[in-house]
Amino acid sequence: MSGEGFWLSEVDRNSAIRGTRPCWKPKGFIHRFSTPAALRSASFCQESPVFRVAAPGECTYVTRRKMDRPHRLARSRTPGFHPGNTGSNPVGVTTQEMNKGRKYNVGVVGIGAVGTEMVRLLRRRSFPIEELIILARRERQEIIDGEPVEVRTATPEAFDGLDIAFFAGTEGVKGASVTFGWEAVARGCVVIDNGDDFRMDERVPLVVPEVNPEALRDHQGLVANPNCSTIIAMMALAPLHRAAGLSRVVACTYQAVSGTGSAAITELETQCKDWANGRSPTAEVYPYPIAFNVLAQIGGVKDDSGSTSEELKMQRETHKILGDPSIRINGTCVRVPVFNSHSEALHVELRSPLTVEQAREVLAGAEGVRVVDDIENAVFPTPLATSGIDEVQVGRIRPDPVFENGLALFVAGDNLWKGAALNAIQIAEKMIELGVDEVPSSAVVKSGN
């Protein structure tokens, strides 16, 4: 068999009966047709218990396969069809309506601090899961909230049959995203990546669902989660940008150790105990002890500007998310001895004037934001108050006389939730809502880069 055409493949009968998306593999293609019309006219399309349809002319599922890319299957729907649905689907029904009741085969790659929270939040938010698979470097059993969780070894084949995979593993050349990200996409799995590897890739949308959900419509199978400090800042900055336009931003962040990972959480706890017992704390995760200290460096220095990688992320990611590279941004990112939740002091210059009262009104009406602002009664955002909640809190809203049309504000948000795991899950939820929850047939897939 050679050439490009429309192919119909056998699928797992149980998947079809359950109404879930079947596991498609690069084998078992049994029929080839030169056009969709020829395929739809085939008698077995109307009679097969697996490929059941509502009416003549509606074939349930078609894959278009380029024979020179045998392992990369691009899925396409006929009008009014929802993959895996074995019942009637009238033509003209929207994807959002068809997705109601659908369940997904979901993977979480990496089971550190962020991956663990992803598992918790998927359960907490009742994400529509048919099967949840946890992948990591090695096979083992982990305990999450008192329940054993089986962890499988991450391999390319592990992504066969997955609909959505949340990547929360190690960054860099040897990390999970670089190793498996585009390979998973090539196997038909939508990837939502929490790491930094593809955030600035032009193929990859960088998304905060409350800020730029429209970017998801052009995804190529892989979507990036912004950096934790960027997300938390965006929740306050984006509404102000929409209302009055951002001209300049100066950010000072106070970032919790959970942003570094589980080892840093343990190190802070150990150092606090050592100090309380009169022992000198030792530093392994950070260059100096973090207990009762602050460290004015997060990430390495990447260029001659003197800014760290964390500070550069805030600049570049803000430009990409807001679609406005003219905004001048500078920041100092600091690690503080707090277990969880990042805080940030933001000083902004607006293009149009906005009073404090107007700013409060704008922020109070923003999705995912809670205004906590009554300084006379000591009411303002704190890491403790925001740890374990979905919203980002905003307070200390006041004029900033340093800038024309200047405002100063203080924000806090759970870096493991909204700054990482929650935002990733919200991206998937928004993709389902928008009907863009599959790898598009036009996806530009370059495995491994």
Active site residue 241: no
Q: d(Cα 296, Cα 300) in Å, to the nearest integer?
A: 11
User: Distance of CA 149 to CAs 68, 132, 133, 212, Å?
Assistant: 39, 10, 9, 34
Active site residue 228: yes
Q: d(Cα 66, Cα 259) in Å, to the nearest integer?
A: 42
Q: Of 45, 189, 228, 333, which is the active-site residue?
A: 228
Q: Of 82, 219, 241, 342, which is the active-site residue?
A: 342
Catalytic positions: 228, 342
